Amino acid sequence: MEQRTQQSATQSLHASPHSHLNCYCALETSRKNTMANEAKPCPCDIGDRSDYGGLGQEVQIEHIKAYVVKPSGASDKAVIVIQDIFGWELPNTRYMADMLAANGYIAVCPDFFVGKEPWSPTKDWSKFQEWLKDKKPTEINKEVDAVLKYLKEQCGAKRIGTVGFCWGGVATHYVALLYPEIKAGVSVYGIVREREDKYALKSPTLFIFAENDDVIPLDQVSTLEANLKEKCTVTFQVKIFPGQTHGFVHRKREDINPADKPQIEEARKDMLNWLNKYI
């Protein structure tokens, strides 16, 4: 079952999970960073990196560190938040985890790089593939297993989903192929390319993409959608946001990008609605 939706940039679906989340965004300045290799800048721009501190705490889960934030009330629902190339400590990603917690989910953002240095906007983009060699988003089973055990045994989670951005979007797609116990996934600008079988999803998955994404061309999105339509037996949705660029859901600040705010908020609400429906 599939559905593809391309919404107008003028259509606004208010996505603030709670009004008090607005105070989380007491963020100061936008920092647009460029690569050291200016001839070939990184298409995965860090964007409007925030100075947001987070409401959760850092814990040790077996061999990895993780950021964990819990809702104000008791909950048996949890979401594994999977980082982008800039790592588990990126404030923007922790902000998304806190947003999930404000909506009733135990949110955990593990260090899927397992202590290895994340990518930095100051690095030379021509060396990205070398950096990526020991950080494959399709080689995270040991970490996923540890986090699932932690959520079940330490947090009392009975229903678990995943949300991933960029590198984490690929990882979320990968997890959806292997873990039927994951009730739902939201892959935000990420496509698995390394596996032969990329389409036999085990859990309902929402794929969010940006129309003007320099990292993921639309022909790759079309191929993904066509193959999912043919081969996938669970519910999925592919949604493209017109005019948006890679990173818009979590690395573009809605408070300083008023023209983009409706779509940023709409994408976040789509994420929450998908999780609420299937978890």
Catalogue the active-site residues.
166, 213, 246
Q: Two tokens at 182?
A: 């994951």
Q: In what order do the strands lie in the sheet with 106-110?
A: 4-6, 236-241, 205-210, 182-188, 159-165, 77-82, 106-110, 64-69, 57-61
DSSP 8-state class, residue 4: E
Task: Return d(Cα 181, Cα 161) in angstroms, integer.
Answer: 9
Task: Return d(Cα 278, Cα 241) in angstroms, integer.
Answer: 22
Task: Return d(Cα 200, Cα 233) in angstroms, integer.
Answer: 7
Task: Return d(Cα 139, Cα 113) in angstroms, integer.
Answer: 10
